[in-house]
Each structure stands twice: as structure tokens, then as C-alpha cells.
Amino acid sequence: MPTADRGLPFEVVASRLASTLPHAWRRIPFTLSVLVATLLVGMFTRAIWEPVWRRDWFPQIAYGVPALREGKIWTVLTGWFFSLTPGQYATGLIMFALIVGACEIRMGTRVVAVAAIAGQIGGVLLASLLVWALSATPWPWAEHLATVRDVGFTTGTLCVLAVTTAALRSPWRLRVRAVLIFYAAVALLFEGTLSDVAHAIAVAAGFWVGQRWFAVEPGFGPRSRRETRLLAFAGLVAIGLTELVVLLFPGSGPFGPTAGDGTLVDVLVDLLIIAVIANALRLGKRWAWWVAVVLGVINALTLVIAVVGLGFQRARPDLDIEISAPSVTIGSGLLWLGLLLLLLFTRRAFRGRIRRRVVGGQTGQEAEERARGLLTAVGGSTMSWMTLWPEMRYYFTKDGRGYVGYQRHAGIALALADPVVPADTIADAVREFTEEAERGGLTPCLFSVTDAAAEAARAAGWRTVQIAEDTILDLPGISFKGKKWQDIRTALNKAKREGIEFRVVTLAEASFAILAQVRAISEQWVGDKGLPEMGFTLGGVEEALDPAVKVGLAIDAGGSLHGVTSWLPVYGPDGAVRGWTLDVMRRRTDGFRSVMEFMIASACLAFGAEGYAFISLSGAPLARGEEGVELDRTDRLLDKLGGALEPFYGFRSLHAFKAKFSPRYEPVHLAFRDEADLPRIGIALTRAYLPDATPRQLIAAGFSGGGGA
């Protein structure tokens, strides 16, 4: 219940809940109808409070082989409305409401109703017929199951979910299917109840039906190298956990009891090896693949030996052949066999070397000089110059005509700005960078990219979200005349009266007195923050010392510096500078109050007079101009991070300040492949922006600003 509702009277809360029912009825009528009918039946028969199998009339409503032998075919339908115990009743209803309700919203009432009814009746009927046929063999499990009656409505629920997976997009399509397959397989191998048999049949049929009529993507296999690795990782971990659970909570399965003295050592050895190789397998390491394959082969051979031994034991009971816990051995062996086949068929996805890096990625002075030469030749976006800063790594494209600048943090290859390549090869550069990052066991991510790179990423199946807005001022004809420029003209006129002039210099060639004042103003600005000076897309004095960077200064008649700005060159495809991007913005706390407005306006006039096309005031990280818009989950995560850092760096205040210049806005995006990567991307961004921050400072930032975001 929402916090705001907790203190309200019961009748108010009840009224609000009742008001939502008509809306819910319109969206999920089938789900609600089944829930209401099941609850009414359960209340009327008291099956909600008492185990139904104890009632005298249980054989009249329960399905199974005995019911078919007795001609009670109606039980495949009546069994839907009951569960064996009150606990199963509650969990079954909750699962039905959540799963079938969500699927009905996604697929529509007609599809879900048909899938649920056909899946429930068909799954139960086919399972009963299969067990009936197997009971004619000397298989004790089938002989026992042929005497069992059962009830429940989970078979239809799982069938609906299996059908709906076909309408999901990667990677969730594969993930949900993998969970369903693993659940059905484990339940069948280690428990093997009549419901487990029905579940396996319903899931398999649901997959086929969904893929045949509702598929939005072809096939069942993983779409990328990363999906393959995650599937292998999850399968390996799930097998280890299954063996542990079966060891701690033994039962009886199709191949006999799951308890045995000889399984403890096997489980401990498997868990130890899994703990060592699981993460390396997720990263695509070749050595981990080999270890997993060897382990799979050993378990597959153990499976063969167990099956052969069990066959001899059943065929020749007079021989002294005893197999410890054959159910565990065979069940685990079948799971390992499935994982082994996956590893063998997808072996090309596991070529990562031991060291985690982008294959072909380079660092150092030589790589930086090469990147600088390419940038000045092919051009880039307003933020491309930042890829030449320290801590950057470079992936140079195979054709040698461009590069991707990135940093590596928390297993993320965090690319900054658009790939610096000819405009018609951006998509190829994104694809190459992705492949090389995956080969090195890293997750690729594109940060602060323009519409062109975002579109290339979306075409490759990535997701994108706007994280900022680049503020552009077109310089031709700019004069700051008119009502909207009143504040800017006031700053220019006031600076003139107070004897403050604007100079554009190369800071590396400036006098010691100027450089000392620049450093003093910058250090004072950093000292006022609760966190260290940021990096990544925010430069400092060292970056402003690059001879290619222009620095704007506000100096009074006495030589005192009131403010400093730095401007990064923006190269065009013709190799010429076509504009400038604002980076450093520092002001003296006791200086000219409107110095920032004065310096930016003066820079516009100066650069415009020199014939440049535009300046970019840059995008404030994690800040956007849209107010009151509804945010999705990714937007809210980034909004939360921006809110946490706002008291320290004022990104949103800075964004509002830049609006004074009436710029045009161009969106800046974050591109990622999977929402599951967002937590690590958040860690990577934090480390990129705040490489020197201590854990204590980061925690303080979260408590100071996060709550209000």
C-alpha cells in the first residue's frame, strides 16, 4: 500500500481500491473472472482452509489416470478450481493473477483465454495419457503415478507464459524461456509429479504455439554473444544451486529417491568449480569454457554409467548391483548434458582472453596522437575533443579511418561521444566496437552520443535514453539585440563600465601571473564542493593547457582575473574547425557578479567575427530541460543520480543558466543493450566522473541529493 494511504481510514482506502476495479476489468477480464470463480469455489467447498484431498468427494473432481479409467473425463476441467493444500491455493492464485494478468495485458483476452484453457486441459490430459501408457512398463515411477489423483491450475498459467514469451523482445524473451525450461526440467527430473509432467508438456506446447503465431523474432536461440554467455553462466549457477537444494531437501523422482550417501562429495566439488569459473564464463573466457566442457563431459559419462547400471539392476535383480542415489546422478547428468550441448554449439562466443580489455584497444601517447590526427581529419561531434583527454583508451577501426574513445570501469567499456569516423561508417564502428568489447569480456555502452550514433545503436537492437541536451548557439548574425537578450546586454554594458575586458588566449603561452590566477580560481571552485573535481566530460586546467584549446579570460584594469572559460575545437569533415565547445567555467567568488554571462557573450561575438559557425555551451551531465514529463525506469535511475550530484555540482542549475542565451537544443543520449546492465553502467559512470572520490564521499552524495530526485 502506498505510504500516503497508510494513515487513511479503511473506508477511504476501500473506496479507492473499488474505483480501480472497472479499469482492471476492462484490461484483464479473463484473469479476474477465473480468480473470482476459483475463490468462490474454494470458499464454498472450504478448500481454501482445509486440504481438499481429505474430502470424501475429492475423487469426483481430481484428474489423473484413475479418473480416466473410471470415465471421469470432466475432472480435467473441475480440477482447475482446486489445490491440494491451502498453501498451494494461495500461491497458485497469486501466481495466476500476476502472470496471466500481465500476459493478458500484453497478448489480449482472447489469446490468453484460449492458451490457459487449452494448456490446462490439454496438458493434464496428455500427461495422464502418457503416464497411463508408461505404467504398462516396469517403471516404478510410472506405476505409482498411475494411481495418483491431482488438482491445480498452474499448468494453464505456465502455458500462457510460454506462449507470451514469443511476443517478448530480446534479451527478455530468451531469459524467460530459459527460466521456464529449467524449472520444468528440474521439477520433472527431481520430483516428477503428475503436475510436473503436465507442466513440461504445456510449456513445450506453449513455446511452439507462441513461436508459430505470435513471434516477433525468429528462432529460439540467443541473439548475441553476450546473451549466449549469460545463458551459460545462469545455467551453470542454476545446476550448482539445484544440486545443493536436492542434497539438503531430498525427495523422490522418476529414477528413485534423491537421497544418497555418495552425493555430498560430488556436489561440493561441483560447487567449488562453479564458484571458480562461473563469472569467467560470463565474461567469455576460453579457459573457463574448457573447464566447463570437461566438467560437463565428466557428468555426461557419469550419466551414461548410471543409466546402464540402472538398466542392469532392473533387468537382473539377482545381480549385486547398487547405484547410490541414481535419481540425483541421472537428473544432474541430464542438466549437465544440456549445458554441455549449449557450450559446444556456441563455442565461438567464448574466445575472451584472460585479461579484460577491448581487443585492439590502445592507450598512451602514441595512441592519443593517432586519435588526434584522425579527429582533425574526419571531424566529430561537439564532445569528440574530450576523447583526447587522459584516462581514455582507443579502439581504432579496422579500416584505419577512425576510432572509438572509451574508458573501462566495472566491466563496462564506456565509450564517450560518437565514434570519430566518417559519417557513413558510424553503424559499422558501433558494430566493431561491440564485437571487440565482447571478445574482451566487457559490456559496451555509448555515452553522450548524438542522434546519428543513437540511431545506429537502435538499428543494432540497443536501447537509448536521452540524458542531456546540447545547447547550440549559431554565430552568424548574432548581436544580442532584442528583449530576450536584455540580461546579456546588461552584463556586457556593466563589464564595460567597470573596466573589465575579455581576452581569448592560449593558456599554455600565457604569463605566469595569469596561469597562477587561473589555477587559484579553479582550486577555490573545487574546494567549495563536497566531492573532488570531476572528469570524463568535464575538463579542468590541465585540459585547458592544450595548445589547441582557446581560453577566455575576464580581466580588469588592474590585471585581476574575474573568470575563466575554456573552449574545445569542433572539427568538421573537411579538417577545419567549425565551432567551439564550452568546457571550463570558473569565476572568482568576490569578483564581477555577471562574469559568466559576459564571458560567454563576448566569446560568441569574438568567434562569430572570426567566421566560426557555432558554439556549444555543452550539455550539463544528467540534466534535461523538460519539466513534468513522465519518466521510464531508466530515466528515473539517471534522474536519481543527477539529483544526488546536484548539491555538489549544480548540473541542473547550470542547464537553467545556459537557457538565458536562447540556444537551440540537440538531444544527447545514453545507448545500452540491456536494462540489466544499468547498475554496472551507473557504477562505471560514477568512477569515470569521480575517479578520486572516496566511498565516504560517494555515500554522502547519495544521502545529500538523492532523496529529492
DSSP states of 492-513: HHHHHHTT-EEEEE-GGGS-HH
Contact 206/157 with Cβ under 8 angstroms?
no
Average pLDDT (3-23) is 50
Contact 154/199 with Cβ under 8 angstroms?
yes
- Quickly state the pLDDT bin for 324 (edges 50, 70, 90): low
Q: What are 167's three cell numbers?
A: 511476443
The DSSP annotation for 352-386 comes to: B-SS-S-TTEE-SHHHHHHHHHHHHHH---TTGGG
d(CA 224, CA 162): 22
Distance of CA 650 to the CA centre of its chain: 28
Query: What pLDDT does residue 13 have?
Result: 46
Query: What pLDDT does residue 656 have?
Result: 66
Predicted confidence (pLDDT) at residue 627 exceeds the cutoff of 50: no
Query: What pLDDT does residue 18 have?
Result: 56
| Residue type at position 275 | A
Q: Identify which has the larger pLDDT, 656 or 269.
A: 269
Contact 308/167 with Cβ under 8 angstroms?
no
Query: What pLDDT does residue 202 have?
Result: 96
Q: What are 629's three cell numbers?
A: 514529463
d(CA 485, CA 409): 43
Query: What pLDDT does residue 430 have?
Result: 93
Q: Which of 22-26, 38-42, 361-365, 438-442 has the highest mean pLDDT?
A: 38-42
Predicted confidence (pLDDT) at residue 517 exceeds the cutoff of 80: yes
Percentage of the chain with pLDDT > 70? Answer: 82
Number of helices (H), then strands (E), belonging to the chain: the values are 26, 14
- Quickly state the pLDDT bin for 3 (edges 50, 70, 90): very low
Query: What pLDDT does residue 395 have?
Result: 93
pLDDT tens-digit readout, 104-114: 999 999 999 99
Average pLDDT (642-670) is 67
Distances (CA, A) of 698 to 14, 413, 495, 534, 639: 42, 22, 39, 13, 16
Q: Which of 118, 82, 109, 92 is nearest to 24 (CA)?
A: 109
Distances (CA, A) of 308 to 302, 305, 311: 10, 5, 5
Q: What's the whole-number average pLDDT of the chain? A: 83
Q: What are 408's three cell numbers?
A: 573501462
- Quickly state the pLDDT bin for 344 (edges 50, 70, 90): very high
At residue 350, the 3 state secondary structure works out as: coil
Plot region of 591 (φ>0 → left; ψ -120 to 50 → alpha; else → beta): beta
DSSP 610: T
Cβ atoms within 10 A of the Cβ of 45, count? 16
Q: What are 64's three cell numbers?
A: 489423473
Average pLDDT (399-424) is 92
- Quickly state the pLDDT bin for 6 (edges 50, 70, 90): very low
| Residue type at position 193 | T
Q: Identify which has the larger pLDDT, 262 or 568.
A: 568
Tell me which of 241-245, 325-329, 672-676 is least confident: 325-329
Q: What are 255's three cell numbers?
A: 529414477
Average pLDDT (52-73) is 93
- Quickly state the pLDDT bin for 707 (edges 50, 70, 90): very low
> Please, which residues have CB within 8 angstroms of residue 40's CB and are 6 or more apart in sequence?
none
Element (H, E) at 569: strand 561-571
Query: What pLDDT does residue 302 have?
Result: 86
Q: Which of 373, 295, 363, 374 is nearest to 335 (CA)?
A: 295
Query: What pLDDT does residue 698 have?
Result: 53
DSSP 6: T
Q: What are 233's three cell numbers?
A: 553462466
> Please, which residues have CB within 8 angstroms of residue 481's CB and are 6 or more apart in sequence?
489
Q: How far is it between the farthest Cα atoms of the chain? A: 113
Q: Which of 26, 173, 38 is nearest to 104 (CA)?
A: 26
Q: Identify which has the larger pLDDT, 641 or 3.
A: 641
Percentage of the chain with pLDDT > 90? Answer: 46
Tell me which of 286-300, 379-393, 634-648 is least confident: 634-648
Average pLDDT (125-154) is 93
Angle CA 389–649–682, to nearest 5: 65
Q: Which of 369, 418, 393, 364 is nearest to 548 (CA)?
A: 369
d(CA 289, CA 392): 31
Query: What pLDDT does residue 230 have?
Result: 84
d(CA 38, CA 83): 10
At residue 74, the 3 state secondary structure works out as: coil
Query: What pLDDT does residue 579 have?
Result: 95
Predicted confidence (pLDDT) at residue 624 exceeds the cutoff of 80: no
Average pLDDT (314-339) is 72
- Quickly state the pLDDT bin for 629 (edges 50, 70, 90): very low
pLDDT tens-digit readout, 174-208: 889 999 999 999 999 999 999 999 999 999 999 99
Query: What pLDDT does residue 702 have?
Result: 47
Q: What are 523's three cell numbers?
A: 582550486
Q: Which of 470, 406, 409 is nearest to 433 (CA)?
A: 406
d(CA 493, CA 55): 94
Query: What pLDDT does residue 4 have?
Result: 40
d(CA 244, CA 680): 29
Predicted confidence (pLDDT) at residue 637 exceeds the cutoff of 70: no
Angle CA 329–334–336, to nearest 5: 95
| Residue type at position 45 | T
Average pLDDT (202-227) is 86
d(CA 470, CA 450): 9
Tell me which of 315-324, 375-384, 700-709 is least confident: 700-709
DSSP 345: H
d(CA 380, CA 620): 19
Classify the C-alpha dihedral 444-449-453-455 as positive or negative. Answer: positive
Q: What are 278's three cell numbers?
A: 562461473
At residue 416, the 3 state secondary structure works out as: strand
Query: What pLDDT does residue 330 have?
Result: 86
Average pLDDT (445-461) is 92
Helix axes 264-282 and 286-315, enclosed angle (nearest 10): 150
Query: What pLDDT does residue 682 have?
Result: 85
Query: What pLDDT does residue 71 have?
Result: 93
Predicted confidence (pLDDT) at residue 653 exceeds the cutoff of 70: no
Query: What pLDDT does residue 407 have?
Result: 92
Q: Using DSSP bridges, classify how beta strands 561-571 and 393-396 pair: parallel, antiparallel or unpaired.
A: unpaired
Contact 672/605 with Cβ under 8 angstroms?
no
Query: What pLDDT does residue 456 have?
Result: 93
Q: What are 409's three cell numbers?
A: 570501469
- Quickly state the pLDDT bin for 162 (edges 50, 70, 90): very high
Q: Using DSSP bridges, classify how beta strands 664-672 and 614-616 pair: parallel, antiparallel or unpaired.
A: unpaired
Predicted confidence (pLDDT) at residue 39 exceeds the cutoff of 70: yes
Query: What pLDDT does residue 646 have?
Result: 40
d(CA 360, CA 341): 31
Q: Please state the three-class secondary structure of 632-663 as a single string.
A: CHHHHHHHHHHHHHHHHHCHHHHHHHHHHHCC
Write down the residue that cell numbers 572509451 correspond to: 406
d(CA 628, CA 609): 39
Q: Identify which has the larger pLDDT, 529 or 548.
A: 548
d(CA 136, CA 138): 7
pLDDT tens-digit readout, 482-501: 777 888 888 899 989 999 99
Predicted confidence (pLDDT) at residue 645 exceeds the cutoff of 50: no
